[in-house]
Amino acid sequence: MPQPPSLADFWTGCRARLPELPEALPEAWAFGATPGHADELLDLVLAGIKTGTASSLWDYDASGEALPQEGEFSIILDGAGAPRAVIQTTRIDIVPFDQVDAEHAHAEGEGDRTLAQWREVHERYWRAYSENPRGYEPDMPVVCERFRLLYPA
């Protein structure tokens, strides 16, 4: 079985196809909290279904990671940690959990794409996987990110 490309090699290949990409290697990360979830969500991105994601602002505070910014690029990893896609953040909104709207829930592309299903899944996720001791609250701040898939196109 061939080895996946290193992040640097992957980025070099992406830049050969999309010369407008910056030279600097962007952050690489996977969706979800498990390898299986990362693969499922990546498949939705690659199919053009998933164009949004949500994160807990409290988790950013706990981890010290920088918030995503409009215009930034990210390398998306599969469940095994191999680089598979490049996205560009197009919009960031920070809203209380109970004010995330149906449009954002639909953009996340999961399940039946309804707001009710989004709330159920994300409450369960943050109760199980949050990086901060507060976990989940109905009014917790949520970072709603929209993005576009650049590679593979």
For every one of its 153 residues, what pLDDT tens digit does the chain have, with 9 covering 90 and above? 566 779 999 999 999 999 999 999 999 999 999 999 999 999 999 999 999 999 999 999 999 999 999 999 999 999 999 999 999 999 999 999 999 999 999 999 999 999 999 999 999 999 999 999 999 999 999 999 999 999 996
In a domain, 124, yes or no: yes
Q: Which domain holds residue 107?
A: 7-151
Q: What are phi and psi of 144, to 5 degrees?
A: -95, 115
Instruction: Pick the closest to residue 108 from 98, 119, 99 (CA basis).
Output: 119
Residue 96's domain is classified under what CATH number?
3.10.400.10
Q: Give residue 151's identity as a one-letter amino acid code.
A: Y
The verdict on residue 107 lying in a domain is yes
Asked whether 30 and 76 are in contact (CB, 8 A), the reply is: yes
CA 76-133-91 angle, 5° bins: 35
**pTM of the model as a whole:** 0.93
Around 114, how many Cα atoms within 13 Å sit in the side-chain half-sphere?
Answer: 4
Kindly tell me the burial class for residue 3, based on how many C-beta atoms sit within 10 Å of its own C-beta (0-12, 13-18, 19 or more).
exposed
What is the number of domains present in the chain?
1
Q: Is residue 2 part of a domain?
A: no
Strand partners, 101: none
